[in-house]
Chains A and B, each alone.
Chain A
Amino acid sequence: MTGTWTLIRLALRRDRIILPIWIVLLGLTPASTVAAYEQLYPDAASRAMLNASAGANPSLAVLYGPAYDLSTAGGFTAWRYGLFLALFAALMGIFTVTRHTRAEEDSGRLELIGSGVVGRHAALTAAIATAAGANLVIGLSIGLGLTGAGLSASGSFVLGLGVASAGLVFTAISAVTAQLTEYSRSANGIACAILGGSFLVRGVGDSTVSLDWLSWLSPLAWPQRAKPFIDDQWWPLGLAVLATAMLAAGAYRLVSRRDLGAGLLPGKPGPVNAPASLSNTFGLAWRLQRGALLGWTIGAVVMAAVFGSIANGIVDLVGSNEQIREIMQRMGAAQTLVDSFIAAIAGMLGIVTAMYATQAALRARSEETGERAEPVLATGVSRISWVTSHLAFAVVGSAVLLAFSGLSMGLAHGLRVGDLGQVGGILVGTLAQLPAVWVAGAVAALLFGLLPKATTAAWALVGVFALITLFGPALRLSQPVLDVSPFTHVPKLPGAEFTATPFLWLSAVAIVLFGLGIAGFRRRDIG
């Protein structure tokens, strides 16, 4: 354990921008709901209505978790945000742990540190401590924020610390997956797949009474099972702490059993000669990016299928509550609620694809900082062809991702209602997100070309777009704020009127940003 404290300080220093962003976004979002709730549901009658409609709808339970009592601002907040906060806290934990363990090992930097006066388990301990600390700060911020907004302190802290405890479990899961393979990307991938699986498992459990027990298998469900503001049970948090301790102990045992740099899953030898496809920059980019494209596509297709299959359940809400319909319509702005629900999910798929586009565009940057760009750019390839090969994935890969997820959602919904004629419309509605996705990818390309050291800001911006799109309408943000996100400008299809104008100007913005990014990259120093 020697050296752990030094490594924690190193981790905090390296994460001095990203962790505060996570903490502010996750810690302060829920408190802002309270006022919106009071505004939307001013009296007992409207709250009872909300309980009877949204609270009893199994489709919404898949998305948001069980609605125990929506007649109080606290109960509503726990239902509406509890699951998403836990999801994002889990992502934060996963990325933080991998960044300071396997990614360090993968890059060879840990070897340098490992040879110093540093204990065998110091890096893992420092990573867990950093992620756990950040989770705790997020949990306390949520608790303080909600208490400050006038909710009961015990409920506020049960919710906040519940979110933190879910983050802790995935921190520990990530500590285990970091030991399994040699690559940080796979470590993140496996952990995120477990996270996605947890989301789906509890989606089934929360929406199906007979399978209610399934939710107990998912750490993501535990914060809501603590019933904050209703029963304020602390023991599910204890369950999370217990799971964290057991997983972390497993991670420590794995560290002791393997060599530095090695994984537990064995690698296999590669070919002696390169295949013909590996002859140009695009071939190289395809080789480097195909795995990520496949992974994102599978994830998005599964997510789209789940939402497509529950879309019809939303019909149960129709007519029961004017306000809910108003919220759903504002998110989707469509005629029927099913359409508007599907349009809202199309928007979410757009956000997911924007994350992919950002990652695909920034792959060029990680090639550069990994010193793998230099040998390639020292051969007879132009900078333009090298960078456009990677950016092609942000542009074309995003289209592929959206097409498959639109198809998946359309088929799932179409099969459910026995009307496959709807597939086309849903596919179009999903693909309609593409120009907004391109804008997000183009921002990453612009930063890469002009401000390569600030490429992380592209992620922050995607986060802002996501928050505005997912929570902006419910929070009644003002139009100029909503307009910041390119997804605000996409017509909510199916349902809304199709107009070409936003597609044209969003595409134009994307083209200009991509162009500026490429031009900037041509002129700047490499490295």
Chain B
Amino acid sequence: MTTAISVSGLVKTFGRTRALDGLDLTVRTGEVHGFLGPNGSGKSTTIRVLLGLLKADSGSASLLGGDPWADATELHRRLAYVPGDVSLWPNLSGGEVIDLLGRLRGGLDKRRRADLLERFDLDPRKKGRTYSKGNRQKVALVAALASDVELLLLDEPSSGLDPLMESVFQECVAEERDRGRTVLLSSHILAEVESLCDRVSIIRAGRTVETGTLAELRHLTRTTITAELATPPNGLASLAGVHDLKVNDHQVSFDVDSHELDAALRALTLSGVRSLTSQPPTLEELFMRHYQEDVAR
């Protein structure tokens, strides 16, 4: 297995702000990698370093086997980038921008361009000034997706798309993956991440806090258990993985870490289980936990 992106210990400061603080990121060739984190956590900065637009203060980064700073021009021919906030030239039409960016990248597939314009329902004749945010993003998406490249760097590419276009976008990214392309997808839309991403990295305050497959990450979350028992519970409180235990006579509810689930259930059965509901862990909880910790800091 080869890696398309390999970043370790990346540090980038702007004046007194430490935007990246030892960030690690590994994206394997051919995977769709979700890149998550609260606003201002350093996702866009990481992508800009990978594009050679910013020079990292320390740490190492390698992209498609090259150095993103020194080999920028060569590498850029093999990748396409969609910024989170797309600015277009006010007097160029969308079609002109798509062609321009495609040509600067080394050519684009005409048939695919036409196909994408239709699927995204984008009028290429409008001038840059007159597009809405969603339509500006579509222009950048069509330009990127119609290019024949190995790697797509997408920085919150669907934040302005309506639900219909969101599903078109997801289809397109799935097709890219099926063609063997690598995608780094920064996103806040959990459904999108769940349906598209093979692996995800969550960053906070310029550091990577979790990385792995979705299944592995789910494992890190807690299951919520509510049970009615024959006798008041015994010994639950002392179990390591049990949190937020609430006992109301025979009623009990608590959260339990996935790897302590077995021990917790065993402790419950000692008191005679009359009814039991369990809520499976959701990614949302995981993300919320990481995002909220950021707020608490």
B9 smallest CB distance to A (angstroms): 19
Query: In the complex where A274-B95, A278-B96, A379-B104 touch, is A267 in contact with B53 (Cβ < 8 A)?
Result: no
Q: Is the CB of B129 within 8 A of A380?
A: no
Query: In the complex where A375-B86, A527-B54 touch, is A270 in contact with B104 (Cβ < 8 A)?
Result: no
Q: Which residues of A contact B94 (CB under 8 A)?
A: 270
Q: Is the CB of A375 within 8 A of B92?
A: no
B128 smallest CB distance to A (angstroms): 9
A183's nearest neighbour on chain B, judged by CB, is: B90
Chain B contacts with A in 101-132, Cβ cutoff 8 A: 101, 103-106, 124-127, 129-130
Partner of B103 from the list A106, A279, A375 (CB cut-off 8 Å) is: A279
Q: Is the CB of A270 within 8 A of B53?
A: no
Chain A: interface secondary structure?
Answer: loop
Q: Is the CB of B54 within 8 A of A525?
A: yes
Chain A contacts with B in 218-277, Cβ cutoff 8 A: 261, 267, 269-275
Chain A contacts with B in 261-305, Cβ cutoff 8 A: 261, 267, 269-275, 278-281, 283-284, 287-288
CA distance A374 to B82 in the complex (A): 10
Q: Is the CB of B96 within 8 A of A526?
A: no
A524 smallest CB distance to B (angstroms): 8
Query: In the complex where A270-B93, A273-B96, A287-B92 touch, is A378 in contact with B51 (Cβ < 8 A)?
Result: yes
Query: In the complex where A183-B90, A270-B93, A271-B93 touch, is A377 in contact with B53 (Cβ < 8 A)?
Result: yes
**A: number of interface residues (CB 8 Å):** 38
CA distance A283 to B104 in the complex (A): 11
B69's nearest neighbour on chain A, judged by CB, is: A523
As a 0/1 sequence over residues 129 to 164 of chain A, the CB contacts with chain B under 8 angstroms (1 = contact) are 000000000000000000000000000000000000
Q: Which residues of B contact A525 (CB under 8 A)?
A: 53-55
In the complex, whether A371 has a CB less than 8 A from a CB of chain B is yes
Q: Is the CB of B127 within 8 A of A372?
A: no
Q: Is the CB of B87 within 8 A of A279?
A: no
Q: Tell me which of B73, B77, B106, B127 has the highest count of chain A C-beta atoms within 10 A of its own C-beta.
A: B73
In the complex, whether A376 has a CB less than 8 A from a CB of chain B is yes
CA distance A8 to B86 in the complex (A): 29
CA distance A224 to B200 in the complex (A): 72
Q: Which residues of B contact A381 (CB under 8 A)?
A: 73, 76, 104
In the complex, whether A320 has a CB less than 8 A from a CB of chain B is no
Q: Which residues of A contact B55 (CB under 8 A)?
A: 523-525
Query: In the complex where A267-B127, A270-B127, A287-B92 touch, is A375 in contact with B53 (Cβ < 8 A)?
Result: no
B15 smallest CB distance to A (angstroms): 11
Chain B contacts with A in 167-216, Cβ cutoff 8 A: none
Partner of A372 from the list B48, B72, B79, B88 (CB cut-off 8 Å) is: B88
B173 smallest CB distance to A (angstroms): 18
CA distance A354 to B71 in the complex (A): 36
A267's nearest neighbour on chain B, judged by CB, is: B127
As a 0/1 sequence over residues 503 to 526 of chain A, the CB contacts with chain B under 8 angstroms (1 = contact) are 000000000000000000001111
A269's nearest neighbour on chain B, judged by CB, is: B125
In the complex, whether A370 has a CB less than 8 A from a CB of chain B is yes
Q: Is the CB of B104 within 8 A of A271?
A: no
Q: Is the CB of A526 within 8 A of B76?
A: no
CA distance A274 to B91 in the complex (A): 12
Chain B contacts with A in 41-99, Cβ cutoff 8 A: 48, 51, 53-55, 72-74, 76-77, 79, 81, 83, 85-99
In the complex, whether A182 has a CB less than 8 A from a CB of chain B is yes
Q: Which residues of A contact B153 (CB under 8 A)?
A: 378
Q: Is the CB of A374 within 8 A of B83?
A: yes
Partner of B76 from the list A273, A274, A275, A378 (CB cut-off 8 Å) is: A378
Q: Is the CB of A371 within 8 A of B93?
A: no
Q: Tell me which of A267, A378, A525 has the highest count of chain B C-beta atoms within 10 A of its own C-beta.
A: A378
Q: Is the CB of B87 within 8 A of A372?
A: yes
Q: Is the CB of A375 within 8 A of B83?
A: yes
B182 smallest CB distance to A (angstroms): 16
In the complex, whether B20 has a CB less than 8 A from a CB of chain A is no
CA distance A269 to B88 in the complex (A): 15
Q: Is the CB of A376 within 8 A of B90?
A: no
Q: Is the CB of A376 within 8 A of B101?
A: yes
CA distance A93 to B153 in the complex (A): 44
B268 smallest CB distance to A (angstroms): 53
Partner of A380 from the list B90, B97, B100, B105 (CB cut-off 8 Å) is: B105
Q: Is the CB of B91 within 8 A of A375?
A: no
Q: Is the CB of A378 within 8 A of B53?
A: yes
Q: Is the CB of B129 within 8 A of A270?
A: no
Q: Is the CB of A272 within 8 A of B89?
A: no
B50's nearest neighbour on chain A, judged by CB, is: A378
Q: Which residues of A contact B86 (CB under 8 A)?
A: 375
Q: Is the CB of A279 within 8 A of B125?
A: no
In the complex, whether B140 has a CB less than 8 A from a CB of chain A is yes
Partner of A182 from the list B81, B90, B95, B96 (CB cut-off 8 Å) is: B90
B150 smallest CB distance to A (angstroms): 13
Q: Is the CB of A269 within 8 A of B126?
A: yes
A367's nearest neighbour on chain B, judged by CB, is: B89
Q: Is the CB of A271 within 8 A of B95?
A: yes
B277 smallest CB distance to A (angstroms): 45
Q: Which residues of A contact B126 (CB under 8 A)?
A: 269-270
Query: In the complex where A371-B87, A375-B86 touch, is A380 in contact with B106 (Cβ < 8 A)?
Result: yes
B82's nearest neighbour on chain A, judged by CB, is: A375
In the complex, whether A382 has a CB less than 8 A from a CB of chain B is yes
Q: Is the CB of A527 within 8 A of B53?
A: yes
Q: Which residues of A contact B105 (CB under 8 A)?
A: 379-380
Partner of B125 from the list A272, A372, A523 (CB cut-off 8 Å) is: A272
CA distance A486 to B76 in the complex (A): 41
A129 smallest CB distance to B (angstroms): 28
Q: Is the CB of B95 within 8 A of A106?
A: no
Q: Which residues of A contact B129 (CB under 8 A)?
A: 106, 182-183, 261, 267
Partner of A281 from the list B89, B104, B125, B130 (CB cut-off 8 Å) is: B104
CA distance A261 to B87 in the complex (A): 15
B181 smallest CB distance to A (angstroms): 16
A376's nearest neighbour on chain B, judged by CB, is: B104
B234 smallest CB distance to A (angstroms): 58
A263's nearest neighbour on chain B, judged by CB, is: B129
As a 0/1 sequence over residues 231 to 275 of chain B, the CB contacts with chain A under 8 angstroms (1 = contact) are 000000000000000000000000000000000000000000000
Q: Is the CB of A527 within 8 A of B48?
A: yes
A380 smallest CB distance to B (angstroms): 4
B110 smallest CB distance to A (angstroms): 9
Q: Which residues of B contact A182 (CB under 8 A)?
A: 90, 129
Interchain residue pairs with CB less than 8 A apart (28): A182-B90, A182-B129, A183-B129, A267-B129, A269-B93, A269-B127, A270-B96, A273-B96, A273-B99, A275-B96, A278-B96, A278-B100, A279-B104, A283-B100, A287-B89, A287-B92, A370-B87, A371-B87, A375-B86, A379-B77, A380-B73, A381-B104, A382-B72, A524-B55, A525-B53, A525-B54, A526-B48, A527-B54
Identify 15 new A-B residue pairs, CB closer than 8 A, beyond the known A274-B95, A278-B103: A182-B129, A183-B91, A269-B125, A270-B92, A271-B95, A278-B100, A283-B100, A375-B140, A377-B51, A377-B53, A378-B153, A379-B101, A379-B105, A380-B105, A526-B54
Which 4 A-B pairs give the minimum distances between C-beta atoms?
A: A270-B93, A274-B99, A380-B77, A379-B104
